[in-house]
Amino acid sequence: MADEQDHLKRAEEREDLAPEEFEIVELEDRLELQDRCNANCKCPM
């Protein structure tokens, strides 16, 4: 059992167990941004 765990852990580190194989992807947080540079850079300061 310990050997199997060790093997799987190392396999995961090598990305052999990448969830992408099963098309499982963590979705990005949807943060709708607007940059504040417009408020700063375009000012004549």
Partner 1 sequence: MAATLAGDDLSAPTPESRLRETPQEPGLVRGADAGTACGPLGQHLVANPGLVVSPLDADAAEPMAVCELPVPGGRPVRYSMPIAVVELIELFDGRRSLEEVIAAYRARRPGRYSDEQLGRLVRGVLLPKGLILGTSSPPTALPPRDRRRSFLYFQLPLLSARFVEPVAQALRWAYAPPVLLAWLPLFVLLHWVFYVKLLPLQALDVNRLELGDVLLLMLLSTAGTFVHELGHASAAAFYGCKRLEIGWGMYLIFTVLYADVSDVWKLPRRQRAVVDLGGIYFQSVFLALLLALFARSGNVVYLFAFLFTDLAIASALNPFLRLDGYWLMSDLFGIVNLRQQSLAYLRRTAAAAVGRGPAQSPGPQLSRRATAALALYSVAGVAFFLVTAKIVLTQVVVRILVGLPEVLARFWLDCEIGAGALQIAARAGEILWRGLMVAGVAIMAFNVLVRLARAAQRRHQRTLATAPSRAA
| Interaction site with partner 1 (CB under 8 A) | 1, 4-5, 8-15, 17-45
Inter-residue contact 19 to 25 (CB < 8 Å)? yes
Report in angstroms how near the CB of residue 2 gets to partner 1 at its nearest. Answer: 10
Element (H, E) at 11: helix 2-13
Report, in Å, the least distance between residue 17 CB and partner 1: 4
Name the minimum Å distance from CB 45 to partner 1. Answer: 5
Q: DSSP code of 43?
A: S
